[in-house]
Chains A and B, each alone.
Chain A
Amino acid sequence: MLHKVKLWGQLKHLAGDEYVQVADVSTVNELILKLAEEREEISHMLISEGQANPSILVFINDNQHLWETPRDLKENDSITLMSPIAGG
């Protein structure tokens, strides 16, 4: 199964693409780990201490995805990833 992922803000600019595709993953966690492997330019933002970075905001079909409630990805899920910011 191929998942289309929308990158927001810094992730998009560093990756150079607004949309990326990730194949053969079944959870958000797997998706982030695989994306980090395939796109070195954003891996430092996606991974923290060897794990999927819990500060990445994830939206699936316009709903926020919470890390504590894992969910299997479906064929046409629309997935958005956003990195945290705090500048003032």
Chain B
Amino acid sequence: MKPLNQEEKDTYAWQTTVPGFGEEGQVKLKNSTVFISRCGGLGSVVAYELAAAGIGKMILAHGGNVKHSDLNRQLLMTHDWLGKPRIESVERRLKELNPRLEIEAVNANVNEENAQELMAQADLIIDCAPLFEERYLMNREAIRNNIPLVECAMFELQAQITTIIPGLTPCLKCIYPEKPAAWKRRFPVFGAVSGTVGCMAAMEAIKVLSGLGDTLENKLLSFDLRDMTFMKSPLIKRDHCPACSGLHS
């Protein structure tokens, strides 16, 4: 593993003093590759927090051009980039914060054609997509390549997050065996809600990669910021899950 240089030691001095993390944890982050899709309300915040925390490499997938309606929540998009590719805005903003970060930026959302190639090299996948079709593809690639998956989602003032370890914990198909019929691509959202769960997902990523603390394996954390209620529920791995039932730890 590549060690920290002096600039990195200085930059991360306020987090390498966290008990259980230390410079060892920082070295693990530096040598890690994280895949994130998409970089919208949720993924923007995940990517920004992980760029700040010193992840070594990110593979980022997000298609389309910046629109006015992105700007209430997609914090890596800027007004001066309206009409231009979102992924360029994402890359530019992350590099402003952390020029050491290596980025592989893809101007497309996850789809059947690109999924396998995009995720095969990742140490961790973070699912921030607005559609179950894309979420199931990330779940499939996580299982195929035995890569941990942080699964997070939101709607209105409500959000959910869990961490999937293929073969050990329930996967997304264990939780939702079939695509929920009623789900629509457009959903009501405040940036502060997607940002809240985005920060939690980034923290889960840091924990999975560095071994710090306890992750949300086998647990679903749900919260509702309309009345500030939080709930942690145990999840069950399905014996006959179509996606992960053949896997053993």
A positions within 8 Å CB-CB of B: 8-10, 12-13, 44-45, 48-49, 53-55, 57, 59, 62-64, 66, 68, 80, 82, 84-88
Query: In whole angstroms, how far apart are the Cα atoms of A45 and B158 in the complex?
Result: 16
List 4 additional contacts besides A53-B182, A87-B155; criterion CB under 8 Å: A8-B224, A62-B233, A85-B154, A88-B154
Contact of A9 among B183, B194, B222, B238 (CB under 8 A): B222
Please state if B177 and A87 are interface contacts (CB–CB under 8 Å). Answer: no
A46 shortest CB reach to chain B, Å = 10
Query: In whole angstroms, how far apart are the Cα atoms of A88 and B234 in the complex?
Result: 23
Please state if A87 and B236 are interface contacts (CB–CB under 8 Å). Answer: no
Residues of A within 8 A of B158 (CB): 9-10, 85
B positions within 8 Å CB-CB of A: 38, 40-43, 128-132, 135, 153-156, 158-160, 175-178, 180-183, 187, 189, 194, 220, 222, 224, 226, 231, 233-236, 238, 240
Residues of B within 8 A of A48 (CB): 181-182
Contact of B156 among A10, A66, A68, A80 (CB under 8 A): A10
Please state if B231 and A84 are interface contacts (CB–CB under 8 Å). Answer: no
Residues of B within 8 A of A12 (CB): 224
Total A-B pairs in contact (CB under 8 Å)?
Answer: 87
Residues of A within 8 A of B220 (CB): 57
Please state if A8 and B43 are interface contacts (CB–CB under 8 Å). Answer: no
Contact of A86 among B40, B153, B238 (CB under 8 A): B153
Please state if A88 and B236 are interface contacts (CB–CB under 8 Å). Answer: no
Query: In whole angstroms, how far apart are the Cα atoms of A6 and B153 in the complex?
Result: 21
- Output the nearest chain A residue to B151 by Cβ-Cβ distance: A86
18 residue pairs of the A-B complex, CB under 8 angstroms, read: A8-B224, A9-B158, A9-B224, A10-B158, A13-B226, A49-B181, A54-B178, A55-B176, A55-B180, A64-B234, A85-B155, A85-B159, A85-B160, A86-B131, A86-B183, A87-B187, A88-B43, A88-B129
Query: In whole angstroms, how far apart are the Cα atoms of A12 and B132 in the complex?
Result: 23
Query: In whole angstroms, how far apart are the Cα atoms of A48 and B235 in the complex?
Result: 23
Query: In whole angstroms, how far apart are the Cα atoms of A48 and B178 in the complex?
Result: 11
Please state if B194 and A88 are interface contacts (CB–CB under 8 Å). Answer: yes
- Output the nearest chain B residue to A48 by Cβ-Cβ distance: B181
Answer whether A59 and B233 are a contact pair too, CB < 8 Å, given A84-B180, A86-B130, A88-B128.
yes
Residues of A within 8 A of B159 (CB): 85
Residues of B within 8 A of A13 (CB): 156, 226
